[in-house]
Amino acid sequence: MIVRPGQNWFRLLFVWNGSVLQSIIPQLVFMAAVSSLAVVTQGRIFGEKIPLNTAPFTLFGLALAIFLAFRNNASYERFNEARHLWGSILISARALTSQMLCYVPRSDHHVQMAHTLIASVYALKHQLRGTDPTSDLVRFLGRTRTEALRHTCYKPTALLNELRRDFADLQVRGLMSDTQLWMLDAQINELGRTVGGCERIASTPIPFAYSVLLHRTVYAYCVLLPFGLVDSTEFFTPLLCVFISYTLIALEAIASEVAEPFTVAPNALALDAMTRNIERSVLELCGCELPEEVVPVRAYQLT
């Protein structure tokens, strides 16, 4: 994720990094070519004039704008929910660690349990991104415990289950009261709920039919637009059409990027920084040495 410091209106006109402009340049070049063709042929294809004017584009553009707004709202809702879920993970991890330090009698268990909790957070990050969690898990669990999890499909849930089993064992041995176990179990349940929420977002994309319909409609509108404007705008047609196409195609690209909040795209969630923040918070409560903070990439750091 890219974090951008506050900028004035003029600098925002020339922002490059973090925008979707880089990914849609080929489409804009194509639209410039189509617009230039419309100017050269005076709106004719194979010698036949295409009978288009601005009136239908006005009505059609309004409907398209409403559809784009719906698509962007649906995408941002997924992004916002994902951010709230990761915020809940931080809150529950802090609460569980604090309760563990106060209620678990054996201090030699504290760091091990904290490492299991942190490992579950890193395992969730890698599961959502489809990456290999081995290096992060080895840091907190050791090689033996990591190997035992190698063939586990849902590693975050398995690690939370280990924590619950440890707490239940302490309660059976009379080292923890039923009330204390209930409080710890409630936090594990909350962590399990957020894990399930993240899995739901990752495994349930916006229906493909919406994306296909919007994609086809946007490009049909942009390709036909020069032939409807050429009689009134003449040589300015390419400039106007490329600008309008940039707006519509960029909105579609932004919606597609934001709808997948767990990727490594510039506008996705900063999961690396968020997992490290949870790690630092838990270790600080345990009195352990803190690793360096991971800061999301800032715009001026990009080349």
DSSP 50-116: ----HHHHHHHHHHHHHHHHHHHHHHHHHHHHHHHHHHHHHHHHHHHHHHHHHH---GGGHHHHHHH
pTM of the complete model: 0.87
* Residue 166 lies in domain: 64-204+274-287
Using the CB atoms, write b or e for 117-147: b if 16+ within 10 Å: bbbbbbbbbbbbbeeebeebbeebbeeebbe
Please name the amino acid found at residue 272.
D
What is the pLDDT, as a whole number, of residue 45? 80
Asked if residue 154 and residue 195 are part of one domain, the reply reads yes
- pLDDT greater than 80 at residue 165: yes
Asked if residue 33 and residue 99 are part of one domain, the reply reads no
Q: Does 293 reside within a domain?
A: no
Distance separating alpha carbons of residues 29 and 31, to the nearest angstrom: 5
Tens-place pLDDT, residues 93-104? 999 999 999 988
Place of tokens 């619950």: 164
- pLDDT greater than 50 at residue 300: no
Asked if residue 246 and residue 184 are part of one domain, the reply reads no
Q: Does 3 reside within a domain?
A: no
Q: Does 88 reside within a domain?
A: yes
Tokens of 19: 């925008």
Asked if residue 149 and residue 22 are part of one domain, the reply reads no
Tens-place pLDDT, residues 263-294? 988 888 999 999 999 999 999 999 889 999 88
**48 vs 196, more confident:** 196
Asked if residue 282 and residue 148 are part of one domain, the reply reads yes
Q: Does 266 reside within a domain?
A: no
Asked if residue 22 and residue 161 are part of one domain, the reply reads no
**219 vs 297, more confident:** 219
Q: Does 140 reside within a domain?
A: yes
Q: Does 57 reside within a domain?
A: no
Tens-place pLDDT, residues 191-220? 999 999 999 999 998 888 888 989 999 999
Count of other CB atoms within 10 angstroms of residue 191: 26
Asked if residue 226 and residue 150 are part of one domain, the reply reads no
Asked if 261 and 82 touch (Cβ cutoff 8 Å), the reply is: yes
Quickly state the pLDDT bin for 30 (edges 50, 70, 90). Answer: very high
Q: Does 55 reside within a domain?
A: no
Report the residue count for the chain: 303
Asked if residue 197 and residue 88 are part of one domain, the reply reads yes
Q: Does 265 reside within a domain?
A: no
Asked if residue 152 and residue 122 are part of one domain, the reply reads yes
Asked if residue 75 and residue 34 are part of one domain, the reply reads no
Asked if 208 and 9 touch (Cβ cutoff 8 Å), the reply is: no
Asked if residue 153 and residue 108 are part of one domain, the reply reads yes
Q: How many domains does the chain have?
A: 2
Asked if residue 70 and residue 185 are part of one domain, the reply reads yes
Single out the residue of 248, 302, 253, 280 nearest to residue 20, CA to CA: 253
Point out which residues pair with 44 in neighbouring strands.
Answer: 49
Mean pLDDT confidence for 70-86: 95
Angle of helix 21-40 relative to helix 237-258, nearest 10 degrees, comes to: 150
**16 vs 44, more confident:** 44
Quickly state the pLDDT bin for 302 (edges 50, 70, 90). Answer: very low
DSSP 147-205: HHTTT-S-HHHHHHHHHHHHHHHHHHTTSS-HHHHHHHHHHHHHHHHHHHHHHHHHH-P
